[in-house]
Amino acid sequence: MSRNSRVRSGLLRQLENERIAQAPIPPCGDLATPTSVCGRRYRSHYLESRNLINGQWCAADSGRTLAVINPANDQRLAEVPDAGAHEANRAVTAAHEAFAGWSVLPARERGEIVDKLGRLMLDDTEQLAAIMTAQQGKPLSEARGEIAYAASFLSWAAAEAERVYGQIMPAASVDKRILVLRQPMGVAAIVTPWNFPAAMITRKLGPALASGCTVVIKPAEQTPLSALAIGELSLRAGIPAGVVNIVTGEAAPIVDAMLADVRVRRLSFTGSTEIGRKLMAKASENLQRLSLELGGHAPFFVFDDADIEKAAAAAVACNFRNAGQTRICANRFYVQRGVYSAFLDRFRSAVEALNVGVGTDPDVDIGPRINDDAMEKVDRHVADAMECGGTVLTGGARAHTAGAADRFYTPTIIEGMSPKMLLAREETFGPVAAVQRFETEDEAVQLANDSPYGLAAYFFTRDASRLIRVAEALECGVVGANDGAPSTAQAPFGGVKRSGFGREGGHFVMDEYTRIKYVSWGV
Ligand code: SIN
């Protein structure tokens, strides 16, 4: 197929999608059911439990489904296809075929379409946030914030589409030039977690699409509805059939099928270090490029010269957002002797002011754990800290909310953290902060780096020289220096050591979805 006919067929598919986008939205029916949370716009696919493959909404070949459960009250929200290898193969075929048309569209056009997807998400913030709170549990205010955060990755990537530059270099002889092209890699597999059901998709989807790749998304089993809603909006934005595909179900068969397929040229995964290792082993067969955003265990230091009001506010936001279910949450707090009591007083009163409850209640700050295993992990970490000599400053127990599931935990601070505690070594993924005193800057750096993980680290100081010394010495990918909320679409996000590799965000992310080709040009 010539380039022009590929572009034409891409445009025809686009026109078809515009037709779908303008089709009337089906009537709502009874909105009093649990499923009403998805609202009118997404209701048809939500109830019909479909995957998006080649622009079509389809069930699993087997007809099997997986239930999506509201973690706050165990209500069944929906059933989504329990798809497997066959559906994944079809999605890869669709993405592979769509690549020919999508990758040759002018970058500006791709960017405009990606930007439109972001704007559609913002327009639908309320419904998308409601979907997120229902399936993931986070408070509605945080869910709205996540939709804005998710859309920002699309608008950032849309603008970057036009800045994927190659180079022309002088060669060693006068009759040659060296031409370096940066081209989209091809089909990208996107495998995302449940803790940020929209933003972890768009952080990968935006740059993949903007650079000219096509994608197959495998969302977490617990939170597929946000992905399906983004899929619907992708059609409404005019993204041609096959460019964005979404396959739901158990992870292993879908992801294994994608990695076994040489047409999949990269995989971007956010999740645990344990799974990341397995994916890396599997990707070795076809040598697919990977970016792995894995577990973290972030330290948070308050130096004697810090602004402790600012540090305490940041500590609360950093540790307790998303009820602690964030990989860059601070888990272990180290406070220098001189400000220990003053900091802890402020930290404690701010933590005690947090409200626990169902995310739809506007006054709630801390929602439920995603499931019972996650709840048991919090119990286990707190019990272990007690056995190892820690003391509970506040919290330390489950919180019982009338009519809700038993997955709520009181925001907790534990003093007397020691290296043998689980809290000091592993992600808790819950609303628990463990605190320990320290004496010197050298000790702080040594404590920070004494971890196999290296995703984020935070510290508060007013000393500019210390700020740069410590920032340079920390073994991690993201440093919050007098900042407890460093995540943003403009900056590269990712880890070192067992927290993975690859960067998402900033202009760096475009490298992840492009490959370099060198043309030796005889003149
Ligand atoms: C994560 O740490 O799980 C992602 C959070 C973020 O992007 O801020």
For the stretch 205-241, pLDDT in tens is 999 999 999 999 999 999 999 999 999 999 999 999 9
Q: What is the pLDDT of residue 12?
A: 37
For atom 8 of ligand 1, the residue with the nearest CA is: 487
- Residues pairing with 332 in the sheet: 299, 434
- Long-range pairs of 30-39 with CB within 8 A, sequence gap ≥ 24: 34/70, 34/75, 34/76, 34/77, 34/134, 35/77, 35/78, 37/77, 37/130, 37/131, 37/134, 38/78, 38/127, 38/130, 38/131, 38/134, 38/225, 38/229, 39/126, 39/127, 39/130, 39/131
Q: What is the pLDDT of residue 258?
A: 98
CB atoms under 10 Å from CB of 367, counted, come to 30
Q: What is the pLDDT of residue 16?
A: 38
Q: What is the pLDDT of residue 401?
A: 82
Q: What is the pLDDT of residue 403?
A: 85
Dihedral angle at the C-alpha atoms of 422, 426, 427, 430, nearest 10 degrees?
-10
Helix, strand, coil share of the chain (percent; to 5): 45, 20, 35
Distance 326 CA to ligand 1 centre (A): 6
Task: State both tokens at 413.
Answer: 């601070």
- In which element (H, E) is residue 96 found? helix 85-102
CA separation for the pair 43, 35 (Å, rounded): 8
Could you tell me where the beta strands, DSSP code E, fall in 113-252? 167-170, 176-184, 187-191, 214-218, 244-246
Q: What is the pLDDT of residue 11?
A: 38
CA separation for the pair 110, 239 (Å, rounded): 9
Q: What is the pLDDT of residue 41?
A: 57
Which atom of ligand 1 lies closest to the CA of 329? 2
Q: Which of 152, 194, 195, 196 to mutate to test the pocket of ligand 1 (most atoms within 8 A of CB)?
A: 196
For atom 2 of ligand 1, the residue with the nearest CA is: 327
Q: What is the pTM of this model?
A: 0.92
Residues 6 or more apart whose CB falls under 8 angstroms from that of 390 comprise 414, 415, 416, 417, 418, 421, 423, 434
Q: What is the pLDDT of residue 248?
A: 97
Q: What is the pLDDT of residue 305?
A: 98
Distance 13 CA to ligand 1 centre (A): 35
Residues 6 or more apart whose CB falls under 8 angstroms from that of 44 comprise 25, 26
Distance 471 CA to ligand 1 centre (A): 20
Q: Is the CB of 328 under 6 A from ligand 1?
A: yes
Residues 6 or more apart whose CB falls under 8 angstroms from that of 413 comprise 344, 347, 348, 351, 392, 393, 394, 395, 432, 433, 434, 435
β-strands 51-53, 56-58: how paired?
antiparallel
Distance 358 CA to ligand 1 centre (A): 22
pLDDT in tens, the chain (523 residues): 444 444 334 433 443 334 333 433 332 222 223 344 444 556 555 556 689 999 999 999 999 999 999 999 999 999 999 999 999 999 999 999 999 999 999 999 999 999 999 999 999 999 999 999 999 999 999 999 999 999 999 999 999 999 999 999 999 999 999 999 999 999 999 999 999 999 999 999 999 999 999 999 999 999 999 999 999 999 999 999 999 999 999 999 999 999 999 999 999 999 999 999 999 999 999 999 999 999 999 999 999 999 999 999 999 999 999 999 999 999 899 999 999 999 999 999 999 999 999 999 999 999 999 999 999 999 999 999 999 999 999 999 999 988 899 999 999 999 999 999 999 999 999 999 999 999 999 999 999 999 999 999 999 999 999 999 999 999 999 999 999 999 999 999 999 999 999 999 999 999 999 999 999 999 9
Q: Which of 272, 328, 458, 476 to mutate to test the pocket of ligand 1 (most atoms within 8 A of CB)?
A: 328
DSSP 216: E
